[in-house]
Amino acid sequence: MRRRFAAVLGAALLAGLAVPGFAQFAQTTRVAVPAGYATSFLLYDKVDKPDRKIIRFLYLSPNAAGLRDAGRPLPDGTVIVMEDHAAETDAAGNVVTGADGRLVPTARITAIAVMEKRHGWGDLVPEAIRNADWDYGAFDGAGQRRAVPTEACFACHKPHGARDYTFSTLTRPID
């Protein structure tokens, strides 16, 4: 049901339909890839995506570490980085799994997505897609901004307001 809602809303957004204020929403992301996030942020989850042959590494800024599962919104200044790594494949192009049954990531980063929360940032976003004060950015594996509209990010995260517009939960830091 949630996927269907996100797909319908996302299609409407891409078509510029059914979203009050969307035509006037000249979104310019304020989000950048934080320097040194891979060593200074908390790596809190890895998500296998075998259909896309990637593993998503999820990082949380230090100001929010320990608060993710407290049931409260994340604090102003929180940054979440999603780093996609290519999965190792065999000669036939099939993904390789390790002894733990998980996909084996390579060092090659294929994409980076960042969501950041700052007081007042939501004021410029139409209510129909506003995610409190979150903003989003899409980047290639080298951290260069991609010319991708992030309105789809807003639409996809919108149904997750009860979890402060995030999909993941901090279950434990990854060793």
Residue 175 in domain: no
Q: Which of 22-26, 34-38, 72-76, 163-167 has the lowest mean pLDDT?
A: 22-26
Instruction: Please give the tally of structural domains in the chain.
Output: 1
Q: What is the CATH number of the domain that holds 104?
A: 3.50.70
What's the whole-number mean pLDDT along residues 60-66? 85
Tell me: the pLDDT tens digits for 81-129?
999 999 999 999 999 999 999 999 999 999 999 999 999 999 888 888 8
pLDDT at 148 over 60: yes
Domain of residue 17, residue span: 2-163
Asked if residue 103 belongs to a domain, the reply is yes
pLDDT of 2 higher than 70 = no
Q: Is residue 170 part of a domain?
A: no
End-to-end CA distance of the chain: 34
Q: Where are the alpha helices (DSSP H) in the chain?
A: 2-15, 37-40, 151-157
**For residue 143, what is the DSSP state?**
S
